Amino acid sequence: MHTQKHHKIDLDTDYPCPCRRRGRLIPIALTEAFGCNRCQQIFVVEENGCVIEQLATTYPYKRSWRWTGHQWNVVQPGLGDSYLPLALGILLVLLSIWLPVALHSPSGASIMLWAIVALVLAVLPALMVWLAYRR
C-alpha cells in the first residue's frame, strides 16, 4: 500500500495525467504548468507547488489534484465552492412558498397545476447540481 502523504510537484518531471490513465503530463517550458500528451489539457501548479489545477472552461468549478508520489488524489472543493448550498436554498424557498399556496387553493384542478409547477421548479436545482458534478 502506498503512502497518502502529499509531495511537492517537481516542475522538471513528467507525471501520469490525472484525467486519463495513459496520458503523461509534460512540463511546459518557462511556466509553472504541465500539458497532457493525450487529452491536450493544461494543468497549473498551485498552493506552493503541492496541487495542480486543470485549466478548463467547460467545468463550473475548478478540478484540482495532489500528488502522493504514486498517484493523483482529487482535492475536494469546500461546501461553499459548490452548487449544493445554492440548490438546497432554492428548494427550501420553493417549498416554503409554493406548498402553502397550493394547499390553500380552492379547486382540485388548480392543486394539480400548482403541484406540477412546484415539481418543475424543484427539479431545476437538482438539474443544476447534476450538471455541476457530472464529468
64-73: pLDDT as tens digits: 899 888 888 8
Summarize the confidence of residues 35-63 as an average pLDDT: 81
Q: What are the residues facing 52 on neighbouring strands? A: 45, 65
Whether residue 80 has pLDDT greater than 70: no
Least confident of 17-21, 26-30, 104-108, 128-132: 104-108
Q: For the purposes of burial, counting CB atoms within 10 Å of the CB of 69, is it exposed (0-12), middle (13-18) or buried (19 or more)?
A: exposed
**Taking the model in full, what pTM does it have?**
0.54
pLDDT in tens, 120-131: 777 777 777 777
